[in-house]
Amino acid sequence: MKKLLFIATIAIIAMAGCKEKENEETPTAVTLEYISVTKQPTKKTYNIGDTFDTSGMTVAAVYSDGTTVPVTITTVMLSYNFSTAGTNKTVTITYEGKTAAVTGITVNAAANSEFFDGSGTGVVDPYLIETAAQLAKLAELINARSTNYNKKYYKLTADIDLSAYGKKWNDGKGWIPIGTNDNRFMGKFDGNNQKVIGLYINDNNLDYAGLFGSVGDEGNVTNLGVDGEVTGRNQVGSVAGTIQYYGRVTNCYATGVVSGNNYIGGIVGSVGSYCHVTNCYTTGAVSGNDYIGGVVAGSRSAYYSVTNCYATGVVSGNDYIGGIAGCAGFANDVVSNCYATGAVNGRSNVGGVAGYTNGRLTRCYATGTVSGTYGNVGGVAGSVGINGSVTNCYATGAVSGISSVGGVAGIVSGSTSSVGTWGEVINCAALNPSITRASGTNTSFGRVVGYRSATNAKLSNNVAWSGMAAVGGITFGAGAVGNQNGADITTAQIKADGTLGGRFTEANGWSTENGKLPGFGAAVALPAHLE
């Protein structure tokens, strides 16, 4: 009986405990109610393109339990637009889905009227440059990494004479380029069809030398003429020492001499990934050591293009020397619709248009003499890599070298180990007066191609002038459209058919006329040996 009473008592106590738990309240979750700006930022006046300054500003998060917690502000929390002028701009702060705003911010139209007129915000209202002092100020601002002035739009309103920044400036070194390798010019510079004259740079220790030192990150220079003398070390050009990362140079010309060590170009020195040089020309001599080009020095490992350009000056150097491009070393590089008329001189990998191509060289021609003191020398291309092609091109200048010398290409590479990798020379014409072995006993000489490194190197539908002379103890052998000597084309046939047997037609971009050679915009007069 006592045992039953004990059990009943325990049950009653347990039930009472359960009842108490049922009566307890469930804790309420604490949630963020809102955020607020508890102290305004110190700075509320900006210029177009400025970055919002959070100094002095405090933001608090208010929760459902009444607690208030300071919020640490980061840039990813901020949303605003300072790209246009206004007197009541807003900055929005977002934190855990809640927003607060700073209002009443003024953004001025011009960054600093002390330097330039205009706002620099676009092609409609760019910063205007009309004096040499303003152009020098631009260099100073860009080289100092001024975020207020980079990635802006600029426009010349007059011709600029840089004589004051010449031989008596910068300890005799002359002009200080706009942009460095660390602080590239990333804006849009419209020369407005004006020209900069009196450019002078003489610094053998200066890399990235030119009116612009380094242009990159989608920066571009357009519609500009440059005249002067530029001497630097590496990456040297009249317009720009280098362009990188989607940089562009368009509708520009240069009339002065350019010299240096490596990567020297008449318009641009080295050319980086996804960069383009279009509708440009040079008339001055270009010289250096390795990677020298009449328009661009080029690159061994970056995709770029050179289109609708020409050069008339002498180009000279050591290795990788070309009338247009020193080196187009990447498989996707394109040199097209270009021509060179000046002599090209070097040691090896020397070409009337390109010293070396591992990309596409198409619709180009060269009329100057091409000479190399060693090998891989060609009227159009010195060397064609296993991914390279030379198509629809011709040359009319005499070519000479020691080995691997041809009227169109010095050497065309193939591969015996890789399927589908070979160089090509297709639909080309070697109209050179002569091919010369300057010395030695090497026999790798041909009217079209000097040396074919593997049998899968592709030669197709090529012709060579039947009167071409073999000089220096060499012989050519029988010619055919698919071998190194090409099929014969006589002077009479050349005069009678301006398309050279249908290889150069208006449909593929050439201007033709019977009695002349193909050209761009107009047919080209026959050289003396074809008259």
CATH number, domain of 75, equals 2.60.40.3630
Q: Say if 513 falls within a structural domain.
A: yes
CB 448, CB 485: distance < 8 Å:
yes
Query: Which tokens sit at 358?
Result: 């591992």
Give the pLDDT confidence of 407-424 residue by residue, as tens digits. 999 999 987 665 556 899
**pLDDT for the residue numbered 418:** 57
* Domain ranges, residue 89: 32-108
In DSSP terms, 463 is beta-bridged to 429, 487
Distances, alpha carbon 163 to alpha carbons 160, 175, 196, 307, in Å:
9, 9, 10, 32
Q: Say if 10 falls within a structural domain.
A: no
CB 354, CB 381: distance < 8 Å:
yes
| 462-480 burial code (b ≥16 CB/10 A, e <16) | bbbbbebebebebebeebe
Instruction: Give the lowest-confidence range in 49-63, 340-354, 394-408.
Output: 49-63
End-to-end CA gap in the chain:
139
Instruction: Give the lowest-confidence range in 65-74, 128-137, 425-434.
Output: 65-74
Q: Say if 432 falls within a structural domain.
A: yes
- Specify whether 281 is located in the same domain as 194: yes
Number of domains making up the chain: 3
- Specify whether 376 is located in the same domain as 510: yes
Q: Say if 9 falls within a structural domain.
A: no
**pLDDT for the residue numbered 16:** 41
Mean pLDDT of 348-354: 98
Which residue, of 77, 108, 139, is where some domain finishes? 108
Residue among 209, 249, 222, 215 at smallest CA distance from 126? 222
**pLDDT for the residue numbered 46:** 84
Q: Say if 64 falls within a structural domain.
A: yes
Q: Say if 375 falls within a structural domain.
A: yes
Q: What SS3 class is residue 193? A: strand
- List CB contacts of 109: < 8 A, sequence separation 6 or more: 48, 85, 119, 125
Mean pLDDT of 478-506: 96
**Distance of alpha carbon 360 from the chain centroid:** 16
pLDDT at 465 exceeding the cut of 90 = yes
**pLDDT for the residue numbered 2:** 37
- Specify whether 256 is located in the same domain as 336: no
Give the pLDDT confidence of 110-162 residue by residue, as tens digits. 544 469 999 898 999 999 999 999 999 999 999 999 888 999 999 999 999 99
Distances, alpha carbon 272 to alpha carbons 128, 263, 370, 426, in Å:
28, 12, 27, 28
Give the pLDDT confidence of 81-100 residue by residue, as tens digits. 887 778 889 999 999 999 99
Element of type H or E holding 487: strand 487-489
pLDDT at 24 exceeding the cut of 70 = no
**Distance of alpha carbon 251 from the chain centroid:** 14
Give the pLDDT confidence of 214-245 residue by residue, as tens digits. 999 899 999 999 999 999 999 999 999 999 98
How does DSSP classify residue 52?
P
- Specify whether 528 is located in the same domain as 383: yes
Mean pLDDT of 428-440: 97
Mean pLDDT of 20-48: 79
CB 505, CB 512: distance < 8 Å:
yes
Q: Could you give the CA distance from residue 401 to residue 438 in angstroms, rounded to a whole number?
A: 5
- Specify whether 276 is located in the same domain as 320: no
- Specify whether 72 is located in the same domain as 158: no
Mean pLDDT of 23-34: 75
Tokens 């040199």 belong to 335
- List CB contacts of 345: < 8 A, sequence separation 6 or more: 314, 315, 316, 317, 321, 370, 371, 372
Query: Which tokens sit at 119?
Result: 């706002």
- Specify whether 80 is located in the same domain as 210: no
- Specify whether 65 is located in the same domain as 151: no
**pLDDT for the residue numbered 108:** 75
Specify the higher pLDDT residue, 298 or 346. Answer: 346
Rg of the chain in Å (alpha carbons): 34
Mean pLDDT of 194-204: 98
pLDDT at 11 exceeding the cut of 70 = no
| 246-255 burial code (b ≥16 CB/10 A, e <16) | bbbbbbbbbb
Which residue, of 275, 299, 323, is where some domain finishes? 299
Q: Could you give the CA distance from residue 277 to residue 256 in angstroms, rounded to a whole number?
A: 18
**pLDDT for the residue numbered 263:** 98
Q: Could you give the CA distance from residue 78 to residue 95 in angstroms, rounded to a whole number?
A: 9
CATH number, domain of 139, equals 2.160.20.110
- Specify whether 337 is located in the same domain as 414: yes
**pLDDT for the residue numbered 19:** 42
Instruction: Give the lowest-confidence range in 184-193, 477-486, 511-520.
Output: 477-486
Q: Say if 118 falls within a structural domain.
A: no
- Specify whether 356 is located in the same domain as 399: yes
- Specify whether 342 is located in the same domain as 485: yes
Instruction: Give the lowest-confidence range in 62-66, 300-304, 437-441.
Output: 300-304
Q: Could you give the CA distance from residue 71 to residue 95 in angstroms, rounded to a whole number?
A: 8
Which residue, of 299, 329, 350, is where some domain finishes? 299
Q: Say if 16 falls within a structural domain.
A: no
Amino acid sitting at position 384: V
45-54, 69-78, 325-334, 505-514 — which one is most confidently predicted on average?
A: 505-514
- Specify whether 281 is located in the same domain as 392: no
Q: Could you give the CA distance from residue 392 to residue 386 in angstroms, rounded to a whole number?
A: 18
